[in-house]
Amino acid sequence: MEAGDEQLMLAYREGDAGAFEQLYKRHKGSLYRFVLRSVRDRALAEELYQEIWMRVIEARGRYEAQAKFITWLYTIAHNRLVDHWRKRGLSLVSLDQDESGQAEPRAGSDYEPQRVLEAKQTLARFTRALEALPAAQREAFLLHEEAGMSVAEIAQATGAGEEAAKSRLRYATSRLKEATGND
């Protein structure tokens, strides 16, 4: 039987580096994609991703078993992204507004999977729709899809109210649904 995330994190807190290794293997992909699809820049995503894990390592002594590890991890990620947005003069609140008219999604090899471009226009539309989502809605959607979080957990990780989290997720899903042609 595999140890739970919380158990592993507590073990790591007690100095067990092997526990961290297991934990990292479990969550590296989803966290990386979450960051990558949030900032839409691979280099920046890698930098932020590493900083998030460094914060996890530094904050291990403050980790309490009451907190679900995944919520704790994505709270750290969210906070790091907020810092990033603030540096850029943006905020999640402003990004929560409809920004579809602000800018076209940047096209680049990192953000447009080759097979999507080649094979499925629908998927291309989906990608563009995801990238076009307001940051807060996209974050809610990515937390839901990548981290498997419920609305309550999204609210907890992002510091938003449950209603706000629910609303963001619903809007995001609705727009992406339009992009896939599922009206």
Partner 1 sequence: MTEERDPKVSAAYRDLGAQEPPRALDDAILAAARRAAGARPSALAARASRQRWYAPLATAAVLVLAVATTLNMRLEKPGIESPAHQAPPSAQGPAPVVAEARQKREAEAKPDAVADTRVKDAAKSQSGDEGKNVQRKFKEPSAPAAPEPKPFATDRAAAASPRADEALGAASSVTGKLAGQAEERGARDAIAGARAPQGAEVEALAKRAEEDARPQMQQRQAPVVQSPAPAPAAKPALLERAAALTPEQELERIADLRRQQRHDEADRALAEFRKRYPDYRISEATRERVERR
Q: Which is nearer to partner 1, 80 or 89 (CB)?
A: 80
Residue 89 Cβ vs partner 1, minimum distance, rounded to whole Å: 28
End-to-end Cα distance, the chain? 43
Question: Is residue 34 within 8 Å of residue 147, measured between CB atoms?
Answer: yes
CA angle 147, 86, 98 (to 5 degrees): 70
Alpha carbon 133 to its chain centroid, in Å, reads 13
Q: Per CB under 8 A, does 54 bind partner 1?
A: yes
| Cα-based torsion angle of the residue sequence 141, 77, 135, 162 in order, rounded to the nearest 10 degrees | 60
Residue 98 Cβ vs partner 1, minimum distance, rounded to whole Å: 19
- Residue from 6, 70, 133, 144 that binds partner 1 (CB under 8 A)? 144
Residue 62 Cβ vs partner 1, minimum distance, rounded to whole Å: 13
CA dist., res. 156 & res. 159, Å (int): 5
Sites of contact with partner 1 (CB under 8 A):
3, 8, 11-12, 15-22, 24, 28-29, 32-33, 36-37, 46, 49-50, 53-54, 57-58, 60, 113, 115-116, 120, 122-123, 126-127, 130, 144-145, 150-152, 166, 169-170, 173, 176-177, 179-180, 182
